Structure 1
Amino acid sequence: MKQRLILSALTVACAGLVACSSTPSKPEPTALSTFKAEFAIAPSWSLSLGEIAGPLAASVHSNRVALTSSAGRVVLLDGDKGQVLWQVQLDAPVQAGLGGDGQRFAAVNVRNEVLALEAGKVLWKHALPASTLTAPLVAGGRVFVMTSDRAVTALDGASGRELWRYEHRGSDALVLRQAGLLMAVGNTLIAGLGGRMVAIDPDQGRVQWEVAVGSMRGTNEVERLVDLVNPPARDGQTVCVRAFQSAVACVDTATARPLWSKPMQGHQGLGMDDTQVFAVEGDDKVQALARADGQPTWTHEGLRFRGLTAPLVLGRSVVVGDAQGYVHFLSRKDGHVLQRLSTDGSAIAMAPVVVGQTLVVVTRQGQVRAFNAQ
């Protein structure tokens, strides 16, 4: 089996520089500007979960959200009140998760084992041949896992028995140390394998179609890394994705037809509403693109170098967290600041999510904070 080297976003960024030390200097974060709050937002509840050290994700289903700490504490919470519905402490740290369908959830630990969870208990474990940083996808009574060797494995949700395994024959030897694209659209499994969006039959593991999203650039393998990153933005059959430091593109998954592609550097996933796609660029400019053709509609430069998360569309806002623990609400119409809130001062660990009517953010220190917008 061909071995692949997993690289962080910082390593890839350094590859483009003439000289890059082990501790490269970063530009100073842009100072926050004053603004006039255009709506009220109030704390709802909070929970101390435990440190979030890697690219973990929330699993949201109606008014419930499942979360895991890096140390392996998994909780299912009621989004309205923050009540713990069940919890379990795993016997090894978690490196990828959490995925779920509302009843059954899955994570991958540092031993490269998939663990299926239900009602606060571990149902089964399945050993993987390679590591992964992408949360498992739980859908249709199965658990799907995409590993760093660019293979996708389907497991039976009740027993963990392997149903099939698809191995991508890409020639690229490097993999980004970041969660990749793995999602369901109808009865099709969509995976980001290299710079390609690949549709797989979830029953048989056969490829149905492929669409190139990222275009390789540069002369070495680090510069040519174009993995598709999580989270994608989806509305019906339209899925928009980012190819790492390469492009933002939208694809009609019903016809396997690329709708448009725009060169853009950046490493975070996307948000989308009915008319625009929202993206964070590599220097943390927030940009809105017309959903029809990818043309820029507005750019907000007031949060540059603040270490932003992927954007969330919420009401009339585009919501992003930053590395100083702030959560920013920008106008979907023109990008001006509508509201801002602070948490515990540590970085927002993942893209904010909406659980029922509640906004939930998670910090690197493991504080889960919920807010109600008025």
Structure 2
Amino acid sequence: MTEQSRGLTLAWRVGAVMLAAAVVAGCGSASKPKPTPLESFTPSQTVRTAWTARVGAAEGPLSLAVSGSTVAMASTDGQVVSLEVETGRERWRAAVGSKLSAGVGSDGRFAAVVTSDNELVTLDEGKPLWRDRLPGRVITAPLVAGERVFIQSVDRSVRAYDALDGRWLWNFARPGVDPLSLAQNGLLTAFRDTLVIGTSSRMIGLDPTKGSVRFEVSLGLPRGTNEVERLSDLVGPAARSDDDLCVRSFQLAVGCVNMNRGTMRWSRPQSGHQGLAADDQVVVGADSADRLTAWRADSGDTAWRVDRFQHRGLSTPVIWSGLIAVGDSEGQLHFLSPQDGRTVARLSLDAPLSGAPRVAAGHLLVATRAGTLYALRAQ
């Protein structure tokens, strides 16, 4: 391939990512429906703020990385911070020196981010360890596990590095996939000793030491007359329900895959672009109009559906301390009952969420676009 053709390929991929972002954003705000007004309710649950920390603003999707009793957070301007979940005490803080396009991934010791110049930066307890120039753009946060760093590019290829010395280990790419990809975190996670990735509407389990395929499951067949209509990438993060991983395929479906057998437990059609929440009882997610649905985890049957959050720009939800927590585009954090979806509490944040909420050491951790990390406790 010539340098000119490489440039054209990269330009197409970047343009595809921008186009996918427009799809998610609704292609402008002029015709966007008005959010449903906030409901009046009598709180029956108390949620309090245990501590907060300031890191820096997040202009795009930046993920929290939880490992044991620590949480790592990054800002768009390249600040990376690790804190103790129980107290909020800062363990270390580092400046990468460049704006970030993806991050942060961490196993508690190593942390990895990707800059807007396509450079993978790995830290060891906050100290710069090594850097590597990547061949393509990265939006999905790196995964750090087993002293390895895994990267998923917008072309859906996955690269593995040795966390200690930056040695390149292997590359996985599925040929023949659509060139258009979704401009948000994709599926890149671990389940026991299997690396789990998303390629279009397919969940693929890989051997993390060699990059060889262990299983492959499709959430459905994309339909449409063009690349935008066929866009069906799996949206991260996945949610765990016992031995299942439950995930959304953009515009297509939600479903749960049994990881012991590498087979589909159930799938249901639903158009949406945010991830799911799950426990051993229910799987919860919002559709493209922000109607929130709960499915029974074992069968996929609908348990309940609520439409009082329509067009409020719901985030990825999370199940925590017997509650469902979900943010909206006005910076409100709603807490619902998993049994029937009624609202039991609400908390106002300083800005909308910058990524999916996380749970660690009994705390609910939510980071906002303004750069504040909240650690919440239920009473």
Q: Normalising to structure 2: TM-score of the pair? A: 0.93
Match of 1:370 in 2: 375
Contact 1:93 1:109 in 2 (8 A): yes
Structure 2, unaligned runs of 5 or more: 1-5
Contact 2:118 2:133 in 1 (8 A): yes
**Distance in 2 of aligned mates of 1:359 and 1:351:** 11
**Distance in 1 of aligned mates of 2:315 and 2:98:** 27
Cα 1:13–1:151 shift into 2, 3 Å = closer
Letter in structure 2 aligned against 1:123: L
Match of 1:99 among 93, 105, 108: 105
For the pair 1:232 / 2:232, whether they are aligned, the reply is no
Contact 2:24 2:273 in 1 (8 A): no
**Greater helix share, structure number:** 2
**Distance in 1 of aligned mates of 2:303 and 2:272:** 18
**Distance in 2 of aligned mates of 1:41 and 1:176:** 34
Contact 1:76 1:87 in 2 (8 A): yes
Contact 2:111 2:123 in 1 (8 A): yes
Instruction: For residue 228 of structure 1, report the CA deviation from its aligned partner.
Output: 0.3
For the pair 1:53 / 2:93, whether they are aligned, the reply is no
Match of 2:314 in 1: 308
**Distance in 1 of aligned mates of 2:24 and 2:88:** 39
Secondary structure at 2:335's aligned position in 1?
strand
Cα 1:75–1:234 shift into 2, 3 Å = same
Letter in structure 2 aligned against 1:359: L
**Distance in 1 of aligned mates of 2:103 and 2:153:** 13
For the pair 1:268 / 2:274, whether they are aligned, the reply is yes
Q: Normalising to structure 1: TM-score of the pair? A: 0.94
Secondary structure at 2:229's aligned position in 1?
coil
Match of 1:139 in 2: 145
Instruction: For residue 62 of structure 1, report the CA deviation from its aligned partner.
Output: 2.3
Secondary structure at 2:228's aligned position in 1?
coil
Instruction: For residue 23 of structure 1, report the CA deviation from its aligned partner.
Output: 4.6
Match of 1:196 in 2: 202
**Distance in 1 of aligned mates of 2:162 and 2:238:** 25
Contact 2:77 2:98 in 1 (8 A): yes
Give the total of aligned pairs: 368
Secondary structure at 1:32's aligned position in 2?
coil
**Distance in 2 of aligned mates of 1:170 and 1:111:** 27
Match of 1:66 in 2: 72
**Distance in 2 of aligned mates of 1:282 and 1:267:** 7
For the pair 1:216 / 2:227, whether they are aligned, the reply is no
Question: Please, which moves more after superposition, 164-173 or 328-337?
Answer: 164-173
Instruction: For residue 212 of structure 1, report the CA deviation from its aligned partner.
Output: 1.0
**Distance in 2 of aligned mates of 1:329 and 1:48:** 24
CA-to-partner distance for each residue in 1:123-182, whole Å, 9 max, x for gaps?
101111001111111111111111112211010110111011112113311011011001
Contact 1:9 1:267 in 2 (8 A): no
For the pair 1:6 / 2:17, whether they are aligned, the reply is yes
Match of 1:359 in 2: 364
Contact 1:185 1:237 in 2 (8 A): no
For the pair 1:172 / 2:178, whether they are aligned, the reply is yes
CA-to-partner distance for each residue in 1:174-205, whole Å, 9 max, x for gaps?
01101100111121111101111111111111
CA-to-partner distance for each residue in 1:244-303, whole Å, 9 max, x for gaps?
011001111221211111100100011111121111111111110011221211012111
**Distance in 2 of aligned mates of 1:333 and 1:216:** 32
**Distance in 1 of aligned mates of 2:189 and 2:133:** 22
Letter in structure 2 aligned against 1:81: T
Match of 1:118 in 2: 124
For the pair 1:287 / 2:298, whether they are aligned, the reply is no
Give 1:70-85 correspondences, 5 Å limit: 70-85=76-91
Contact 1:134 1:147 in 2 (8 A): yes
* Percent identity between the two aligned chains: 41
Instruction: For residue 7 of structure 1, report the CA deviation from its aligned partner.
Output: 3.9
Contact 2:250 2:271 in 1 (8 A): yes
Cα 1:334–1:154 shift into 2, 3 Å = same
Match of 2:36 in 1: 30
Contact 1:327 1:341 in 2 (8 A): yes
Letter in structure 2 aligned against 1:122: P
**Distance in 2 of aligned mates of 1:275 and 1:41:** 22
Letter in structure 1 aligned against 2:204: V
Letter in structure 2 aligned against 1:373: A
Instruction: For residue 215 of structure 1, report the CA deviation from its aligned partner.
Output: 2.2
Match of 1:88 in 2: 94
Contact 1:7 1:175 in 2 (8 A): no
